[in-house]
């Protein structure tokens, strides 16, 4: 499965492969589609005016008059969002993109093969139809979402999927348990997976803190299965049997794979 297309960008890394193609871009998705893979994974958020866009981080950064300006992606309109980074119309100059690492360092988002930001609809229209999509429903870990807010976001995503998916294989996934459960209620066409790091990081929502809690989430809402950080599976191999006995599918991610 192609993670954010041809791989995530780590701007602080000395490894050129981590800065080759812009993650979560049409260029990255089509680059990985040339390989024998079944699915490409990407992160979807919804703008203030209800347009699903492809972007991983909760905040988008630029620099103006020497000062870093940080805005929440979901507070932007689509028009505002698309002003960041390279522009599809080469006569226009976009706002320079920067990225903040987990430890707070800020890097200019420079890669060897850059590309414009894009919408979910553009991904359906422009990525090789032979590749399935793992649509990760991206939410902020530090925000408590009301059901009405989740419903608005998820319905916007479902509309685009229903209008453009045709027979392309689709799965939904999310670290946000309520979002995973709700999108299963809102549609039954496509399978839904609950993402978890299985206790490698502790959250206030206990449903996110172990594989056994993930099993409970899946069984309570009729989800297809679990996508777990591989370290939690290696640390707790007995959970694999419990997942299998619960008739759930188990997928893994992580650097130890």
The mean pLDDT value for 101-122 works out to 94
Per-residue pLDDT at 183:
99
Q: What b-and-e string marks burial along 100-134, b requiring 16 or more CB atoms within 10 Å of the CB?
A: eeeeeeebebebeeebbbbbbbbbbeebeeebbbb
The answer for residues whose C-beta is within 8 angstroms of residue 39's C-beta and 6 or more apart is 1, 2, 131, 132, 133, 134, 169, 171
Tell me, rounded to whole angstroms, the distance of Cα 250 from its chain centroid.
18
User: Residue 62 CB: number of other CB atoms within 10 A?
Assistant: 19
E-strand ranges in 66-114 read 67-72, 98-100, 106-108
The answer for residues whose C-beta is within 8 angstroms of residue 252's C-beta and 6 or more apart is 227, 228, 229, 230, 233
The mean pLDDT value for 6-20 works out to 81
Per-residue pLDDT at 16:
81
pLDDT in tens, 184-210: 999 999 999 999 999 999 999 999 999
In this structure, what token pair is assigned to residue 189? Answer: 């066409």
pLDDT in tens, 116-154: 999 999 999 999 999 999 999 999 999 999 999 999 999
Per-residue pLDDT at 91:
82
The mean pLDDT value for 60-64 works out to 97
User: Residue 158 CB: number of other CB atoms within 10 A?
Assistant: 17
The domain locations on the chain are 2-57+115-190
Domain 2-57+115-190 is found in CATH 3.20.20.190: yes
pLDDT in tens, 65-91: 999 999 999 999 999 999 999 998 888
Return d(Cα 73, Cα 143) in angstroms, integer.
14
Integer CA distances (angstroms), 172 to 53, 133, 199, 226, in order: 15, 8, 22, 11
Per-residue pLDDT at 256:
67
């Amino acid at each position: 499965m192609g993670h954010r297309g041809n791989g995530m960008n780590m701007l602080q890394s000395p490894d050129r492969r981590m800065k080759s193609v812009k993650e979560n871009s049409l260029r990255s998705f089509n680059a990985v589609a040339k390989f024998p893979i079944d699915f490409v994974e990407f992160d979807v958020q919804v703008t203030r005016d209800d347009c699903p866009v492809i972007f991983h981080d909760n905040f988008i950064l630029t620099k103006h008059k020497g000062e870093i300006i940080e805005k929440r992606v979901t507070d932007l309109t689509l028009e505002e969002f698309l002003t960041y980074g390279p522009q599809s119309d080469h006569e226009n100059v976009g706002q320079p993109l920067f990225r903040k690492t987990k430890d707070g360092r800020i890097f200019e988002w420079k890669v060897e093969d850059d590309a414009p930001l894009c919408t979910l609809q553009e991904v359906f229209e422009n990525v090789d139809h032979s590749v399935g999509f793992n649509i990760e429903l991206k939410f902020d870990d530090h925000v408590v979402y009301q059901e009405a807010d989740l419903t608005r976001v998820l319905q916007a995503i479902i509309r685009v999927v229903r209008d453009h998916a045709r027979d392309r294989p689709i799965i939904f996934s999310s670290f946000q348990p309520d979002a995973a459960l709700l999108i299963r209620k809102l549609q039954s066409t496509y399978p839904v997976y609950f993402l978890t790091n299985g206790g490698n990081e502790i959250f206030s929502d206990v449903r996110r803190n172990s594989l056994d809690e993930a099993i409970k989430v899946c069984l309570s809402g009729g989800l297809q299965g679990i996508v777990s950080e591989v370290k939690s599976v290696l640390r707790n191999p007995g959970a694999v049997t419990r997942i299998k006995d619960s008739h759930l599918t188990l997928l893994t991610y992580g650097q130890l794979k």
